[in-house]
Amino acid sequence: MIEAWRWFGPLDKITLPEITQTGASGIVSALHEIPYGEIWPVDAISTQQKMVANTGLLDWMVVESLPIHERIKRGEGDLSTLFANYRQSMANLAACGIYTICYNFMPLLDWTRTTLDAPVKGGGMALRFDRQEMAIFEIFMLERDGAEADYTPEIVDAAKQRFDQMKQNDKDRLLASIMAGLPGAFDRYSISQLRDELAKYKDIDRDSLRANYSRFLHEVIPTAATLGMRLCVHPDDPPRDILGLPRIVSSHADIAWIMDEVDNMANGLTLCSGSLGASPDNDVPQIAAEFADRIHFAHLRNVSKDADGSFQEAAHLDGDVDMVALVKTLMNEEKRRRQRGRADHQIVFRPDHGHELLSDIGRGTHPGYPLIGRMRGLAELRGIIHALAHEQKE
């Protein structure tokens, strides 16, 4: 397996020289400064690619992500220019030798957490999704119509009690935490702006979102196949409806539908163990085994779930996902690819998210993306991989 590292470009507080010291060889990055829907020019791709290559040790291997414009997700208006721009961006990336694109089809928000600094045992901080805090936000701050129906009476009552005790800075913190899951889009919404954006989705249900996703796949996957590219969809995070918005990449059945909708190797999956692992209904190693041949990229992290639907980022070898079983599944797939003679048999992965530890605390890195916490995760995953590789040789 190929070790990679998420880098947010020149504005990232973690520098490329620091990343070289982690031992990773691949970089996962994007051109975050380019607005959604616009073409990624060859010169901009090449400039960032050279920054990475000039380290002498790193190579930009995966794009995360080439964002999909919200109008495509809503199926709104004439989309021909947006699709043409997406295809041209893919062609420009291929011209620079970058052939793997991770993307998501989550409406409006990417990953969602309610707390960015939940304490962890022994010190440090983790990302957390608290069901009561989400109810506070949806019901009492956003005042979304119908939000109460998405929660049990016990959660609603507890949320009301907590909301009544909140000060304005507590509310501001909760909004900022929920908005933090947009690392590739530097816009952040106020409450009123979020209401306006949600209103644009009022007629979008699960079936219509699936239809719009199907259109996207049919518009771009043939081009990806011609270019020799691999697109790999990232699962919803968390894998459930959020803010009344449907989520359609949350389960085994969802992934099966996507792979079947355009049955082509260019239409693949980013196996994210944390996103899928946040649902008690998902057996992540089993999902990985079933769709192994379509996994083009992997995010490896862990979560610990609570009975009420809350969850918290765990250390990479803790939590509810059997990481050893999952990595073994991915390595078995690599072995199958190698036996079939595939030169690209290795799966690129990155240690996803990490606890803020030691000098990470207060450094101001992207939430979930500290240096030491991820390096700890990478080291732990590296140990699993080496042990399993030794086992395969026996």
Write out the catalytic residue numbers: 234, 272, 299, 352-353, 369
- Give the 3-state secondary structure of residue 360: helix
Which residue's structure tokens are 């991989």? 385
387 contacts 325 by C-beta, under 8 angstroms: no
Tell me how far apart the alpha carbons of residues 356 and 368 are, in angstroms, rounded to a whole number: 8
Look up residue 141 and give its amino acid.
M
Q: How far apart are CA 280 and CA 25, in angstroms?
A: 34
Instruction: List beta partners, residue 5.
Output: 27
As a whole number of angstroms, the distance between CA 97 and CA 94 comes to: 5
Q: Which helix (H) or strand (E) holds 373?
A: helix 371-393
Identify whether the C-beta of residue 296 lies closer than 8 Å to the C-beta of residue 270. yes
Handedness of CA 293, 260, 265, 112 (dihedral sign): negative
Question: What is the number of other CB atoms lying within 10 angstroms of the CB of residue 222?
Answer: 15
330 contacts 1 by C-beta, under 8 angstroms: yes
Q: What are the residues whose beta carbons fall under 8 Å from the beta carbon of 28, sequence distance 6 or more?
A: 4, 5, 6, 7, 61, 62, 63, 64, 102, 348, 350
User: How far is Cα 54 from Cα 67, in angstroms, rounded to an integer?
Assistant: 26
Instruction: Please tell me the distance from the alpha carbon of residue 12 to that of residue 6, in angstroms, as a whole number.
Output: 10
Distance CA 239, CA 232 (A): 17
**Integer distance in angstroms from the first to the last C-alpha of the chain?**
19
